[in-house]
Chains A and B, each alone.
Chain A
Amino acid sequence: MGDFQIKKQSKKYDAIIVGSGAGGGMAAYTLANAGLKVCLIEAGPMFDPQKNVTQLKNPWDSPRRGASTRFRPFGDFDACYWGWEVDGEPYTHAPGTEWDWFRARMIGGRTNHWGRISLRFGPRDFKRRSIDGLGDDWPIGYEDVKPYYDKVDQLIGVFGTNEGLENDPDGHFLPPPKPRLHELMIKKAGTASGIPVIPSRLSILTKKINNERGQCFFCSQCGRSCQVYADFSSSSVLVKPAIATGNVDVVVNAMAREVLTNNDGLATGVSYVDKTDMNEYQVYGRTVILAASACESARLLLNSKSQRFPNGLANSSNVVGKYLHDSTGADMGGVIPALFDRKRYNEDGVGGMHVYTPWWLDNKKLDFPRGYHIEYGGGFGMPLYGFSWGIENLNGKHAVKGQAKPAGGYGKSLKEDYRYFYGAHVGMAGRGEAIAFESNYCEIDPDVVDQFGIPVLRFNVKWSDHEIKQAKHMKETFAEILHNMGAISVWGNDDGPENNYGLHTPGKIIHEAGTVRMGSDPKKSALNKFSQAHDVKNLFCVDGGQFVSQADKNITWTILALSMRASEYIIDEMKKQNL
């Protein structure tokens, strides 16, 4: 350890941003375009979908034919580096609790592969306590965020339709793609039960919006991140143009260790370990902006202990790490006999569903609070590892071309079966709002460090009856839609109280939020309504950590809006010499 030393950067930045996903990318973009000098720290390597390509590859280009690995849990072609397991970076659980912690390590973070489901929160989503007495209201309302949703819509691009729904607000939408065949069937089936099925709202460019980004060419592979930048990935849409301003220094493979503070109790910068040379570095700035993901940002604050901040930074309220919650999730799938032996054509479409179901019911008539939306899948997908797996459970149940066959089999007859059933599958996934409870939290595990010597998180999260009842309702809805469309459920149909009705483990839906929440009362929140720490005025958190609650809307669009809002506030405060 003779040459072990901490290397201190002499350059002083206006802002040090930790994390380059939706929150960090937007902060870097907004600040750099205002002429501020930014240092953007990212724990993973550089990534540019134009150079790091898995899009438009064929199944045989992967030796595992697209099967998932621990490096790419969403499959071998997925653009995201790492997932629920990261080599050398463990996390732990309190006994009897569950949390699966997803971590992306790359420029752009998980936005490189996400579902591009870009939903605004509605007016009710900011004020849930006032409605059902659970959790807390946000210190801001829809009217505060609306101007930023409007700007994000126009800057990044999102397709959809204005439906005039009160809690699913209208926006600035590009035209959506026409529904696919199974989606038309879903729409008919849903409508018959009073379940709305409307065009989905995805941040994919069905029309060109500027000269830096191309137009969608309908390969359905947004999960691989788009070479022509026709989908929203923070890497291509925010970080790349931010770098082009000349105002951003990007430090990749840099694992943040601690937020540094001075005797005045202000943040002065960030210390990190460079994963490539394993040296310790410090960078300094006028402000520090955390956007490392809800749990990593909380971990960073809790690990930034000092005499002045003995239980971690921005944590005099003791809420950092608490109120951790993910979306609820439950799924079901089946086959549509009407689609057996279908005519072949290219129905790739955009990367994701062309229609979805926003929450449509009144909780006063239900036994659970909050709602869920439904995402749909199906059709002629690219054959990948697992193709028609378990055909022995299908070909004995349905006659093939009029001929009843015994389950299983082999040979020419089996090849006929594979052709017959291809493209007849339909799937649905409910994604709902969990209650943010103080008793669900992550904290520093005093006994365990990661490979960089950084103390790790220990999770303590349990679902409540609210979420379990919601999952039960999802399953009933899916069964009804499948029934209406003449489909036969094949999986996800045998759940019960023994497995929480198929409710996924918390963390599995990858919408973690709430750990650094904002609020008007500094005793009950870490941040004020501008995402600024109550205790440390030049410290901000602009990722999912700041959320008081997360609606049944995927949180990315709100992260982007709040990050832009916080960034404009920072620019303004700097002009006023308050920062």
Chain B
Amino acid sequence: MSELAPLLEVADLRVRLRTPRGPAEVVNGLSYTVGRGETVAVVGESGSGKSVSVLALLGLLPARVAAVTGAARLDGEDLLTMPPERLREVRGPGVGMVFQDPMTSLNPVLTIGRQLVEGIRAHGEVSKAEARDRAAGLLAEVGLPDPRRALDRYPHELSGGMRQRVVIAIALSNNPSLLIADEATTALDVTVQAQILDLVAGLQSEHGTGVIWITHDLGVVAGIADRVLVMYGGRCVEDGSVDDVLERPAHPYTRGLLGALPDLASSDDGELATVPGTPPAPTDLPAGCVFWPRCPVRSDPRCETEQPPLAVVGASTGGLPHRAATWCSEGSSR
């Protein structure tokens, strides 16, 4: 997409958690870039390391249990090694984050207005009245009716969709150059989800915000993403442009995910396709390809012994390489 230096460049990100059952390699050498105005969708099952990988970027994992290594350069500045004070300055104006559950990501004892004003006043000298004006403007921008009055409401007085708009308004309050949405619409019904997706797309084209959209909803991915990154077992197993990955999936896992999409038009007797088995425990990752215990293909002797590298597969479109980490891609189209 962009030939310029990317907005965010994540290189060999690794997160190891200390757990009672030994160290857990939750994220294993994740590398990707996000360009200005670009939307990168990160997909994968629960427990594949999606959320942890972005929480690690912002230093939001508790230091006593999480060891984060690698690099994550936002505009050339490494988020992982910057001093805490600088990181606090970046949170907000640099990176805004929207969390999964709008029911829990707002403080129940503070009004919407105070929580918005907090985000605005945490960066730069702004008077209370001025911050309130900006807060009302933000609420209008995210499509909250009667924003002035909404400022004085408590979170429990708003519906889930409204709350998520407020959360997005807070994340956008400092004009972040990068917006991270961690399953931001998972808890919402599809009509509200569609509104929120439109909203983010609109803001993105207006402000050139880079977006990392974490989801396990492939429908959302198809709708908003420029680029897709499929995670499994803490690794990127496939990435590429949205068309490449969704139309010509190269990794057996991606194919499984796509195959598991329920098809409304089909007239089967309701049996849903699944990817059999469960994701590996991060304390006990298999040798070889992380996916091989569940893999329906396993066509290569190296599957069980050697981790496949992320390699370019097939033709790429739109200037993005289409890569997959599998031994089984060649000649095994759908």
**A and B: interacting chains:** no
Binding site for A on B (CB under 8 A): none
